[in-house]
Structure formats: structure tokens, C-alpha cells
Amino acid sequence: MEFDAIVIGGGHAGIEAALVNARLGFRTLMITQNLDCIGKLSCNPAVGGLAKGNMVREIDALGGEMGRLIDATMIQFRVLNRSRGPAVQAPRAQADKPAYQTAAKKTLERQPNLDLFQDTVVDFILDGSGRRICGVVTERGRRFSASVVVLTTGTFLNGKIFVGEYSTSAGRIGEPAAHGLDRPLRELGFTMGRMKTGTPARVSRRSLDFDKLETQFGDDEIVPFSFSHTGVDRPKLPCFITYTNTATHDILRENMSRSPLFSGTIVGAGARYCPSIEDKVMKFPDRDRHHVFIEPEGLDTEEMYLNGLSSSMPEDVQEAFIRTIPGLENAVIVRPGYAVEYDFMDPMQLTPALESKIVEGLFVAGQTNGSSGYEEAAAQGLMAGINAARKLQKAPPVVLTRAEAYIGVLIDDLVTLGTKEPYRMFTSRAEHRLSLRHDSSDMRLCRTGFEIGLHSQERWGKFLEKQSSIDEMKELLRNRHLNETDCAHTPESLSRHVGKSFYQALKSPETTLADLVALEPEGLGGRPVEWIRQVELDVKYEGYVARQDRQVDRFRRMENMRIPEGFEYDRIDGISSEAREKFKKIQPISIGQASRISGVRNSDLALLMVVLGRRPARAV
Amino acid sequence: MSTDEETTPDADSDGAYDPIAALATPYAQSAVAVIRASGARVIELVAPLFSRPEKLRDARRYTIVHGRFHGRDGRTIDEVLVNVFRAPNSYTGEDSVEINSHGSLPVIERILETLYSSGFRPAEPGEFTLRAFLSGKLDLTRAEAVNEIIRARSDRARSLAMNRLGGSIERAIDSVKGRLVDILARVEIQLDYPEEDTGEVVIPPEVIDETIVRLESLVATYRIGRVYQEGVRVAIAGRTNAGKSSLFNLFVREDRSIVSDVPGTTRDYIEATTIIDGVPVRLFDTAGLRVSEDTIETEGVRRSESILGTAGLVVYVVDGIEGVVADDKRRIEQISDRVPCIVAWNKIDLVDARVCPSGFIGISAETGDNVEALRASIAARITPELGVVDGRPVIDSVRQKDLIERALVALRETKVGVDGGVPVDAVAIDLQEAIRALGEITGEVTTDDILDAMFSGFCVGK
């Protein structure tokens, strides 16, 4: 069977990659091991959070699906860090897991140009050169052709799960691992590695003692993740909080030898920022308690997720330590926690378009690249999908910069620096953090999404309307000055700004845009609260953003200096051998990317630029 | 958000990069030094520091202008030639100036300092060449050659610095930087894990204060560091024929002394560098201090006076045969008002010499009698000031000083932000800037370093 594009895997990366290609008009096939597992939230029942929530909104602004899926299936919404400055605020939603999956599958099924097929890909079909992909072969011997393939294997490639002394080949508990594809990958010269992640036990809701648990409700006001949604109307469920104690920790310590993490059975690299409870107890012996968040897995299920208790201890140990925790004394485990170890591919073998440097037409996204998290996976799936489609269109790839999106930071980090542990996004990874607010994602990326062809004219029109409305407001703020009459009926804090423009007055921390809207209801009022908030933050933070930009300005210029594909680093005399090896391996696309490679010195860069021997484009 | 209301115009609005300056000739005593400055608004920035600003501003093409370069306080630093280059006809392709000054280290340092406090930042190694390349000014071979030289020089400079200081500055800065990284990591982890019980986000003001004090005291060592680098200025004064030159020659007869005529000043003073008790000393033999009808000599005397004004110590030589005459008495009093002064009673080897009164050090510059006592006395005067340095790091380059000051500015901004209730994500910008500036001295702090600090110190993650 012939297709334009094939997506291997139906997780969060695969969903985005498949939808993009189908929506851009390409005959697309998604092959997954189990159609019932499309869009599964394998671990925590939540989408968003710090930096991750921003990425979900960026995905939406570019024309991806994740924002709409979570808007349609959330059962609780919160803005985190509400009191801590806008650049580090982020939306997070509890998801109804089964509903999320259903919504994802339904979206794929109804997408024109997209076929779904249940099977396991075990080999690639390459052209005569052996360096260009033309299709895939499945376990059952089916052959499908396509000139681009997006590989998203998640935790399934040679996946192996561990529960104490028990271990078996699986990508998730109860779901077989995918075998076969690692062989051609290795033969083609891909560097593979092992990574590890884990998940906690699920317990039955009715076995919990809610009297002993703190209840945590979400926010009343819901900000939709998707910019195409004006509101979200969903049932709301609370979460619950409890704590481990010394009895819990004693049990864990006594049984540490039975943990596959500490017995040496697991070789894969785990993430420091997603530690198991065993890790926490061993690494922080002084802590006498750790947080546990108990989160519902959905409206129609009684399963509850024990966030913070990720563990691969034997089941009897899991039950014993869980039952030392207040509220969980009689907890009934319905699924045990487990660790999973899987193959990943060194992402430094990819271009910033997420295309393999070894096999043309092969794009790789998600956990296969060593990342962690639904949002990180979806972001890569979207960009890999976009660039696979761009390749089919013979259009240049879309590479987001670190200054315009967390997605840009994510991909640049992965392909430039690689990763030694499952890569999770943090706001602290983004040097342009102040410019990457979640509420400004559409201003940053909607145009790109439209130009790629992923937005309808209607959505684009609405965006332009918002943009011009925001510009009008800023214009008015600049031109309108605060006078004596204004101050007669305004907060005292405003009166010291008499004579200044509204714009200047708004920069003072105690002034709110609401104060000014009250003075100029016609010009400034009557707009959605989100738009007003956006203007307020833009103005208030302008000075800091300018400072931030000055600090990172030098890097931006270097981004615009491109290095031609296939550049021969051996031609350069005088660069350090370390830099030469790294350049050859990573094949940076710009001097900017080259400058971020560890071990590269200024003199190496200068020489590289000199030898490139052409006048680079000026910064815009 | 009122701390940065005036956004400075983007430096690249006219296609030029931010203004940088650096010494283009080797950092050493020499006849002429060239300081190169390039970038946006470079001429505008230099003009106010020059005695004929309009000449610079009006230069439409390559022009050489003669005049005086002065500090921000308006005081002349040196007589210079300024070469003005207009874009694109310059080495970098940008508007540039080259300041040709006398090649004395204090002059170089003062000009650089003035530039660095007037909108320029120190150029990084290779940065001029980089710009030249960026603007398409350099052909391949030429650029490569220049780059090689720069690389060699910066590497050598670095190893020299490392050897001289035994890494102690690095350690001091690293310890300050380490504390800031800890604070930043603490802030970042709280920002990235809002739901965990990591405590409230606090940038502890007392730690910032303490860090500011530590950095300020490091900056203060710059003066001491310069003493080690440039030497303590010791001037030998006295009336004509008191024996100044003999004493000078006696000191500089040491193996490690270097005598040089100061360019263009044959009549006024001679300078030599020697080492006394481990401390580099720049010894000046001034012209005889007497009122003269000879205009050239008068000019020489005037310059000698200025040497005396900038000396750290004066050795006043009295002719032991004549004793302290009225002129000596007046001079000694004048000098003692301003700088430490040791009075040497010369010519004790001669039979005519009077008995050396107490408080004076009797010597013979001719025979070297008792010169050791004078040497010990000099050492005793110049080392107490430096004694505080023992075992403590000192900074000795403008670049280090500039970077520490940049960190200080950022830390003071941090403080303003913290006190003013500015949200912590914005304050973090300043904290990062401080860390970055210190990182330029001792090695860059990467995101991974921050993440390491975050996850080694905090138990987070679900």
C-alpha cells in the first residue's frame, strides 16, 4: 500500500505527527500496536504544568491537537504559581484518562486522509542508496511505502518492566514491547541507549479514608489551553493530599535490596526530577516526609493515582509502605507501580527539523529521543510531523528558535546537547523565559501555524482581530496621559503618575490595567479578560524583557549564521580536536547552535566562521 | 516595573553591534599603545572624552585627530592621536576609533577604564576579527592569521594569570558564584515545582548583601593587584647634587631591574623597575628640585612634581655635607603632607659629612654603606599596605574588575527588585546576569550546572 507519510506509534507524538500530515493533505498512515491504546496517558492523569503548560499552548497556536484534547476532557484546572510572576505561571489540568484516549482516537478516526492500522513495524524499506527511507515492514509481513516516516516508539522499543523481582518484556504493564526495529536501527549506525522511567500504583477510590486527606480543589476560572476555545465547561473533581512518614521510609529502607533500581537489574538512566519514592528516601535521608497527591484517573473510573509514590518495589512492599500513609491504611492496589526501561536513540543524530542525519526521510519524536512527558512528546511529534510534511512539499523546514518557543528550546537542547536522562522541560532551561509566557503563545506562533497551513481562515481572522485589538490598546495607553481629573476617583497609587502616559503608569507595580480601564472604559474596555491581561503583562514586563534580550542578544545574531549542510570540518586547520569531533557528530545548522555545544571555544567558532568564507545574513 | 523604563535603543538598529573596546597592542610598557573601539555609536561615545569632540564627530572618512584624552572627571589622561574610521571603511566594518596613546601601563589602564565606564564593554578575544568577518571585511587568509595570533595571546595571557595568582581569584569568585548558583537553583526549583513543599520563593536579601560586600572587597583589591602588576611608585627626590642619581643607580644595579627612559621626557625623570622585598617597585629619579631660569629644566621640574604627586612613597635625599637647608625643610614638609616620606642622609662616607640626626637614615649612595637599612625602611613602608593581601586573592586586570562590577550592578538590581516586590521571575534575570558575569572570569555556568544544583539539593518530582 502506498502512502505519503507513515507515523509509527499512536502516543502523544504520533497523534500530532499523523494529524499534521493528514491535515496538510498527505495520505497518511498511523501504525500502532494497539488501536485501543491511542493517546493513552501512561503515567499521571494530568496535562500541563510549569513550562509544559506553555508547550501545550504553543502546540495549539501552531495548529496541534493537544490543547483541544485536554480542554475537552479535563476534570480540574489550575494555574500554578499564580502569585509568582507571569513568566512562571502555567496552566495544568487533571485529565479524565479514558475520555482523553477516546477523544484522541475519535479525532484521528475522523480525520480525512488518515488511516489507522494495528500492527508492529519491524523493519524499514530503504532505497538503493540505503540512506533514504521508502517504507516500512510490519510484524505480520505487511509492507507500506511512504517517502517520509515519523518514528515515535515511546517506551515500547525493547521495553521491559520491573516490579520487584518480577520483570517482563512490555512497554506498559499488560502491553507487549515492540521488538525488531532496534536491529535495523543499529545496523544503520544509530547510537542507541537505555532509559528508565516509572509510575506509581493505582488504588481503588473506595478504599481511601478521605477524612484523613486534605482536599485540593482546582480554580474556578478556567483558561482554555486552546486559543480557539472561549471557555471550558466540564465537571470538576478534587485531588487529595497526604504525606509519607518515617514508618513508610523504614519499610522502603528495609527492602531496598529487593528494588531492581538498587540491585542493579535496571541499567537505563532515570531522571533526577522524576524520582521514585525509593530514590527520594535514599537520596534525602533527612526528610521525614514526602508529599503524596492522590489524583482521580477519570469520571467513570474508581482508580486513583498516587502521585509521588512512583515505585518498582515488589508488590508486597508497595502495599506495606502505602498502607503506612494516613488515609491509605486500607488502600487496595488495583495496579502496582512499576519501572520501565526502553531503547532510545541519541537525538544528536537528528537535524533541528528532527530528521535523521543518517536516513533521509526518517523523522524521530518523543521518548525515542530521550525526552520525558506527554507535552514534550507532543511538541516533538508536531514539529517532526510538520517537517515531514514540509519535506513532502519540498519546502524548507520549520525550526523554532529558543527565543520564540519552549518547543524551540526543547528541540535545540535535544539535538545540540543530547541528553543523559529523560529530558524534561523546565522554565529554567529557557533563557528567554520572560518572553515565553503561556498567554502569549498565539502572538508568538499563530502566524507560523497559519503559514504552514494548519489554521483555518476563520481562526486566522480571529487571531488578527485579537492582535489588532491588543495593538489598539497599547497605542491608546501610549497616547493617553493621566490628568488631575482622572485622579479624583482612582486609587491613590495612581495620583503620583499624573502627567505620565497610561503606558508609563502601568509599569509601576501597584498600577493595574483595570484601574486604567476604569478611566477609559470606551477605549480599553469591552474586551476578553485574557486580552487585557496580555496587554498588562506585555507592558509591565517590557523593561525586563528588554534586559533579558540584551543579555542573550549575542546568541541571536549567531543563530542567523547558517552552516551549509555537509560542511567538511576536516577542512579547517586549527580548531580543537574536541570541537572538530563534536561539530562532525552534531552537524550544527548555525553558528548559534555550534556555540552551545559543550567544549567548543570562542576561537573555534571564530575560525569556523572565517573558514565558512561567506558573509552571513545580518540579524533582523 | 519601574526599574528599567528607559529602554536603550537596540544596538543593531544601524547594523552595528554593541560598542566594545580593547587594547590592540600587547599589554606591556612600550612607546605607543593602540586602543581599538568599535560598534554602534562609538564616535558619539568617545567624543565627550576627547578635547576636540567636534573633530571626531565631523570626521566623515578616515581622519587622524590630535588632542587630549580625558577621564569622565575631565582630567587629562594623555595626549593622544585618535584615528576615526567610518563604516564600512574600518577593520571591523563598523564605525571605529583607534586611540594611540603613550604606552605606559597606567595610561592604558586609565583609558580603558574610562571607556568601560562610558558605554563600552571589554572585547572578548577575537571579537574584532569576528566582527570584521561578519561584515565581510576580512578575507580568509588574513582572518585566519589574525585569529591565530589572538588565540595564542589569549591563551598565554590566561596561563600567565593562572600562574601568578595560583588560582586564588578563581577560588574566591567561584565561592561567590557558587552561593549565587545555590540561590538561583533554590528559586528555580521553587518556580518549576510550585506544588511541592520546597518552601516559599525567597531570594535572601542578607545573602545578596553579603555577596555584594565580598565582591566590593574584591574590587577594592584591584588597587593592590595593580601594585603587584605595575609596581609601587617610589620617587627619589632632593636638591641637585644631593646624590639622587647615585642612589637610583645603586638600586637599579640589581639583576632584576629594568631601566627605561620615559619617551619624550629626557630631561624630567628616569624610571626603573626593581623588586624590593618581593614587591615590584617603580623607581623614579626626579630632576633636581630647584627653581631654575632654564625653561626646559623648569618644565622638567614641573613634571617631577607631578611624579611626586602620584608616588606611593618618596625617598628624599639630603646632602649630608650641607645638612638640611631651608629649601629641603620646606620640600620635606610639603611632600610629607601628601605621601609617606623617608629622608636619607647621604654621603656619610665622606669626612665632611655631618652626623646623621635621628629620624634620618644615613647612607652612602656612592659606597653602598647602610643602603640595606634604607631598603628595609622602604620595604617596611610599602608592605604594610600590601600586607593585607597575604593569602587573599587580588584582582589585577581591568577586565576582571569590569566583570565583577557588572556582577555588582546586577546584584544591586536584584536587591532593588527583591525589596520592591518585583516578581521573582523578573528578578532572576538580574541574578542570572550576575552569575554570567562572574562566569566569564572563572568559566561559564550552564543550565546543566543550575539543574545539578537544583536536583542535588532538593527532593522534588512526582
Task: Report how far residue A190's alpha carbon sits from residue A114's, in angstroms, rounded to the nearest whole number.
Answer: 29
**Residue A410: exposure state from Cβ atoms within 10 A (0-12, 13-18, ≥19):** buried
Mean pLDDT of B224-231: 59
Q: Which residue of A has its CA nearest to B131?
A: A606
What pLDDT does B299 receive? 58
Confidence of residue B218 (pLDDT cuts 50, 70, 90): confident
**Residue A583: exposure state from Cβ atoms within 10 A (0-12, 13-18, ≥19):** buried
Residues A133, A108 contacting (CB under 8 angstroms): no
What pLDDT does A59 receive? 98
Q: Do B429 and A551 touch (CB under 8 A)?
A: yes
More confident of the two residues A145 and B225? A145
A290 touching B, CB under 8 A?
yes
- Tell me the Ramachandran region of residue A523: left when phi exceeds 0, alpha when psi lies from -120 to 50, beta otherwise: alpha
Q: How many Cβ atoms from other residues are within 10 Å of residue B205's Cβ?
A: 12
What pLDDT does B151 receive? 43
A336-372 pLDDT, tens digit per residue, is 999 999 999 999 999 999 999 999 999 999 999 999 9
Mean pLDDT of B403-432: 88
**Residues in chain A where the model's pLDDT stays below 70:** 489-490, 553-558, 573-574, 599, 601-603, 606, 610, 613-620
| pLDDT at B164 > cutoff 50 | no
Q: Do B138 and A610 touch (CB under 8 A)?
A: yes
A361 CB contacts (<8 Å, ≥6 apart)? A132, A133, A134, A147, A148, A149, A355, A388, A391
- C-alpha torsion sign, points A421, A427, A432, A437: positive
Continuous segment of H or E residues that includes residue A425:
none
- Grid cell 515565553 is found at A436
SS3 A383: helix
A618 touching B, CB under 8 A?
yes
Residues B343, B325 contacting (CB under 8 angstroms): no
B296-342 pLDDT, tens digit per residue, is 555 556 666 777 777 888 999 999 988 888 888 888 888 888 788 89
Task: Report how far residue A178's alpha carbon sits from residue B338's, in angstroms, rounded to the nearest whole number.
Answer: 86
Looking at the complex, report in whole angstroms how far the Cα of residue B38 sits from the nearest Cα belonging to chain A: 15
> Which residue of A244, A417, A547 to mutate against B (max B Cβ within 10 Å)?
A547
B321-334 pLDDT, tens digit per residue, is 888 888 888 888 88
Which residues on adjacent β-strands are paired with residue B301? none
What pLDDT does B380 receive? 78
Residues A359, A194 contacting (CB under 8 angstroms): no
A263 touching B, CB under 8 A?
no
DSSP A306: E
Within 8 A of A541 by CB-CB distance, chain B residues are 1, 426
What pLDDT does B357 receive? 86
Residues B236, B250 contacting (CB under 8 angstroms): no
DSSP A361: T
Q: Do B423 and A86 touch (CB under 8 A)?
A: yes
| pLDDT at B427 > cutoff 60 | yes
Task: Report how far residue A515's alpha carbon sits from residue A527's, in angstroms, rounded to the nearest whole number.
Answer: 15
What pLDDT does B224 receive? 60
Q: Do B424 and A88 touch (CB under 8 A)?
A: yes
Continuous segment of H or E residues that includes residue A265:
none
Q: For residue B398, give the nearest of B31, B103, B105, B50 by alpha carbon.
A: B105
Q: Which residue of A has its CA nearest to B431?
A: A548
Task: Report how far residue A175's alpha carbon sits from residue A33's, in angstroms, rounded to the nearest whole number.
Answer: 9
Q: For residue B4, give the nearest of B436, B458, B426 by alpha carbon.
A: B426
B21-51 pLDDT, tens digit per residue, is 988 876 667 778 889 999 989 999 999 999 9
What pLDDT does B398 receive? 67
In Å, what is the CA distance from A477 to each residue of A437, A473, A545, B62?
21, 6, 19, 46
Q: Do A606 and B129 touch (CB under 8 A)?
A: yes
What pLDDT does A614 receive? 42
Q: Which residue of B has its CA nearest to A420?
A: B448
Look over chain B and give the mean of its residue pLDDT values, rounded to a whole number: 75
For residue B136, give the nearest of A273, A542, A615 by CB distance: A615
Confidence of residue B269 (pLDDT cuts 50, 70, 90): low
Q: Which residue of A has its CA nearest to B149?
A: A603
Looking at the complex, report in whole angstroms how far the Cα of residue B46 sits from the nearest Cα belonging to chain A: 22
Q: Do A434 and B451 touch (CB under 8 A)?
A: no
3-class DSSP string for chain B: CHHHCCCCCCHHHHCCCCCEEEECCCCCCEEEEEEEEECCCHHHHHHHHECCHHHHHHCCCCEEEEEEEECCCCCEEEEEEEEEECCCCCCCCCCEEEEEEEECHHHHHHHHHHHHCCCCEECCCCHHHHHHHHCCCCCHHHHHHHHHHHHHHHHHHHHHHHHHHCCHHHHHHHHHHHHHHHHHHHHHHHHHCCCCCCCCCCCCHHHHHHHHHHHHHHHHHHHHHHHHHHCEEEEEEECCCCCHHHHHHHHHCCCCCEEEECCCCCCCEEEEEEEECCEEEEEEEECCCCCCCCHHHHHHHHHHHHHHHHCCEEEEEEECCCCCCHHHHHHHHHHHHHCCEEEEEECCCCCCCCCCCCCCEECCCCCCCCHHHHHHHHHHHHHHHHHCCCCCCCCCCHHHHHHHHHHHHHHHHHHHHHHCCCCHHHHHHHHHHHHHHHHHHHCCCCHHHHHHHHHHHCCCCC
What pLDDT does A261 receive? 81
Within 8 A of B201 by CB-CB distance, chain A residues are 84
Residues B18, A524 contacting (CB under 8 angstroms): no
What pLDDT does B163 receive? 39
Interface of A with B in 307-336 (CB under 8 A): 307-308, 310
C-alpha cell at B337: 603632607
| pLDDT at B265 > cutoff 60 | no
B89-125 pLDDT, tens digit per residue, is 888 888 999 999 988 877 888 899 899 889 998 887 6
Q: Which residue of A has its CA nearest to B15?
A: A618
Cis peptide before B88 (omega within 30 of 0): yes
Q: For residue B44, give the nearest of B31, B30, B59 by alpha carbon.
A: B59
A247 touching B, CB under 8 A?
no
What pLDDT does B159 receive? 38
Q: Across A11-20, B190-199, B368-377, which has the greatest mean pLDDT?
A: A11-20
| pLDDT at B150 > cutoff 80 | no
Position A329, amino acid: E
pTM comes to: 0.73
- Grid cell 489524583 is found at A295
Position A390, amino acid: R
Task: Report how far residue B57's alpha carbon sits from residue B55's, in angstroms, rounded to the nearest whole number.
Answer: 6
- C-alpha torsion sign, points B74, B80, B86, B90: negative
What pLDDT does A343 receive? 97
In Å, what is the CA distance from A388 to each residue of A17, A32, A146, A357, A383?
8, 19, 11, 14, 8
Looking at the complex, report in whole angstroms how far the Cα of residue A248 sits from the nearest Cα belonging to chain B: 16
Q: How many Cβ atoms from other residues are within 10 Å of residue A498's Cβ?
A: 14
Q: For residue A268, give the nearest of A372, A197, A368 by alpha carbon.
A: A197
**Residue A214: exposure state from Cβ atoms within 10 A (0-12, 13-18, ≥19):** middle
In Å, what is the CA distance from A369 to each residue of A192, A343, A381, A513, A568?
10, 9, 11, 43, 26
Task: Report how far residue B204's alpha carbon sits from residue B186's, in angstroms, rounded to the nearest whole number.
Answer: 10
Q: For residue A561, give the nearest of A600, A604, A610 by alpha carbon.
A: A610
More confident of the two residues A348 and B222? A348
C-alpha cell at A583: 561539530
DSSP string, A554-565: HHHHHHTSB--T
| pLDDT at B256 > cutoff 60 | no
Within 8 A of A609 by CB-CB distance, chain B residues are 130, 133-134
What pLDDT does B166 receive? 44
Q: Do A275 and B459 touch (CB under 8 A)?
A: yes
DSSP A175: B
Looking at the complex, report in whole angstroms how far the Cα of residue A322 sits from the nearest Cα belonging to chain B: 15
What pLDDT does B199 receive? 64
